Structure 1
Amino acid sequence: MNALGKMTFTETKLMLRDPATAVMTLAFPLFLMTIFGIIPGFRQPYDGFGGAAVIDTFIPGVTVLVVLAVLGLSIMPVYLATYRERGVLRRLAASPVSPTLLLVAQIIVNVLLAIAAVVLLIVFARFAFGVKPPGNPAGFVLAFVLSTTTVLSLGLLIGAVVKSSKSATAIGLAVMFPLLFLAGVWTPVELLPGPLSAIGTATPMGAALQAIRDSWSGDFPPALQLGLMAAYTVVFSAIAARTFRWE
């Protein structure tokens, strides 16, 4: 097993030792879908979504994005900050392990957890509420992968520089909620004022939600949103690797 494989295996074991994180990540989307699914109005056709029901188009994308946001901007930065507080990173600094390797391992572990959460969500939504699966599977996979790496790389950037777990929580939430608002999680971006709508679709989470929504409804994600997410992933990851603080 190479160095990355060993690091990923170690991070996976550490994640499993804290089952609350995995359980919350897997159960939270099911809880959200249940809340939305029992609202009768969300199961009725809506002209704003081309005659489709809200729960078949808008809600799945929102649920996926919220899960990624919690995982990437709340859980992951706290993990890294806790490592820093407890001196784990300082001990790693004395070894041949590079910060890039640790960050990549964190991304891999959390991507696997996100995949498990979304697969469980799709199956649950289908059988519990009759929600149609993504209409463009290939487009959805691409949108989901880029959405996940975008949000996680932003979380890694936060976790790379914060001094404490409290700071990680505060900064993560301060970044997460405005981005979710601009993305159109609480109010569809189509209903936001013109400037906010344009800004929202260009943000990391706005691009992610647009790509996921389009692929779920059967269209291929827009090239602009895919390109933005790829660029965000590269930039955030590069900055995180260069600014990573061991202590």
Structure 2
Amino acid sequence: MILEQLKIELKIYLRQPLYLLFSILMPVVSFAMFGSIYKNSSYGGIDFFSAYIPGFCVIILFASSVYNVGNQVVADREKGIYRRLGVTPVSLPRIMMVVIMKVFLVAMTAFLLIMLTARFIFEVAAPNMALFVAVFLVAVVYSLLFGFGIGAITQKINTFSAVMMALFMPMIILSDATVPLSVMPRTLQNIAEVNPLYRLNLVLRVAWNPENLSAYHDGFYISVVTLPVFMVLFLLLVASQWNRARN
């Protein structure tokens, strides 16, 4: 039954070309283009791919695991889909499980395409691929929690779209995944310190090549500590808003 629901979810997803474009195709095309231009460059003492591949993985996480899942949860709630399903034998946890599985498959598809592009076009691979994949999977779960949390406390799809558009560009720009933070004013660099995408980017860079720890030593350990703290505080906020809405 779950597999049948998953097939339906994937069919619906594939009928929405914008989701497909931003979650899978755009990161891969952008990676291939910028990789061809800057492949011989270095960044902050490390090679281009050690910095850029983790950065693209961060963009994939935000586009699929945060934006898409939050958008679906809010849209389905606004349409009353979950309320109607509440009077059927189909349980809400199972529905959520199917959504999680769909988003997970989308994120892993984009991730696999990035890895294949790196390997067969640029002949680049992570020195410790098993570690990088493991950390990426943890990052997917982290991003899913963030996406579901935003979806749970947002009532209207228009509100969700406005909030996400207001957050999307600043978070991506200040993630060090596109424009290098080193060329930005000190004020923006300080703001980036509290950007979860920037913190995820640093963790993924070290996971890509543990030797990068020497370049990101303090930032890496700060990220390992602050990311869980940020998620706990965020989930407490979500729980508070959820209980307030129910009351």
Decide: shared fold, TM above 0.5: yes
1:121 corresponds to 2:119: no
Matched-pair contact (CA < 8 Å) for 2:135–2:207:
yes
Give me the whole-angstrom Cα distance separating, in 1, the residues matched to 2:53 and 2:195.
19
Give me the whole-angstrom Cα distance separating, in 1, the residues matched to 2:191 and 2:138.
19
- Residue 10 of structure 2 is matched in structure 1 by 15
Structure 1 residue 74, shift from structure 2 partner: 2.8
Match of 2:160 among 165, 168, 172: 168
Question: What is the CA deviation profile of residues 74-119 of structure 1, one whole-angstrom value per residue up to 9, with x for unaligned ones?
Answer: 3222211221222102123446877666555533432232122212
Please give the root-mean-square deviation of Cα atoms over the aligned residues, in Å: 3.2
Structure 1 residue 187, shift from structure 2 partner: 2.5
Match of 1:179 among 171, 178, 184: 171
SS in 2 for 1:79: helix
Supply the AA of the counterpart residue of 1:122. M
Give me the whole-angstrom Cα distance separating, in 2, the residues matched to 1:51 and 1:240.
38
Q: TM-score, normalised by structure 2?
A: 0.77
Q: TM-score, normalised by structure 1?
A: 0.77
Tell me, which stretches of 5 or more residues in structure 1 are unaligned? none
**Higher alpha-carbon deviation: 186-195 or 121-130:** 186-195
Distance 1:116 1:198, change over 3 A: same
Matched-pair contact (CA < 8 Å) for 1:155–1:172:
no
Give me the whole-angstrom Cα distance separating, in 2, the residues matched to 1:238 and 1:147.
20
1:62 corresponds to 2:62: no
Supply the AA of the counterpart residue of 1:14. E
Structure 1 residue 216, shift from structure 2 partner: 2.1
Question: What is the CA deviation profile of residues 156-182 of structure 1, one whole-angstrom value per residue up to 9, with x for unaligned ones?
Answer: 222112233232222222122221122
Matched-pair contact (CA < 8 Å) for 1:156–1:240:
no
Matched-pair contact (CA < 8 Å) for 2:46–2:212:
no
Matched-pair contact (CA < 8 Å) for 2:176–2:198:
yes
Structure 1 residue 208, shift from structure 2 partner: 0.6
Distance 1:105 1:18, change over 3 A: closer
Distance 1:159 1:77, change over 3 A: same
Alignment of 1:90-105 (within 5 A): 90-94=83-87, 103=96, 105=98
Distance 1:51 1:242, change over 3 A: closer
Supply the AA of the counterpart residue of 2:169. F
Structure 1 residue 223, shift from structure 2 partner: 3.8
- Residue 78 of structure 2 is matched in structure 1 by 85
Matched-pair contact (CA < 8 Å) for 1:147–1:229:
no
Supply the AA of the counterpart residue of 1:129. F
